[in-house]
Amino acid sequence: MMIELNIPITADEVLCAVKSLKKGKAVGPDFLLNEYFTESIDILCADLCDLFNAILESGFFPDK
C-alpha cells in the first residue's frame, strides 16, 4: 500500500527527526555518523528539508 503525502515536510519535522537520532551508532551505507547531522543541523536543516521535499515531489530517490 502506497501512502501519498499531500503536504511538504517542514523544518520542524526534520529537526525533530535529527534530534531523535542516537549517538554512538555505527554508520550505514552512506558512511555518515548520526553525530554529523546532530552537530550541524542548524546549517543542514533547510537543505535537508528541500532535498526531502524534492524527492517526494519527483518520486525519484537517488541510489547514491
pLDDT tens track for 3-41 = 665 789 999 999 999 999 999 999 988 899 999 999 999
Q: Given pLDDT bands bounded at 50, 70 and 90, which one contains residue 54? A: very high
Give the residue, 62 or 32, on which the prediction is more confident.
32
d(CA 19, CA 39): 10
The reported pLDDT for the residue numbered 5 is: 59
Which own/partner contact pairs does 38-43 have at CB distance under 8 Å and 24+ positions apart? 41/14, 41/15
- Is pTM beyond 0.85 here? no
How confident is the model over 33-57, as a mean pLDDT? 95
The three cell numbers of residue 16 are: 525533530
DSSP state of 24: T
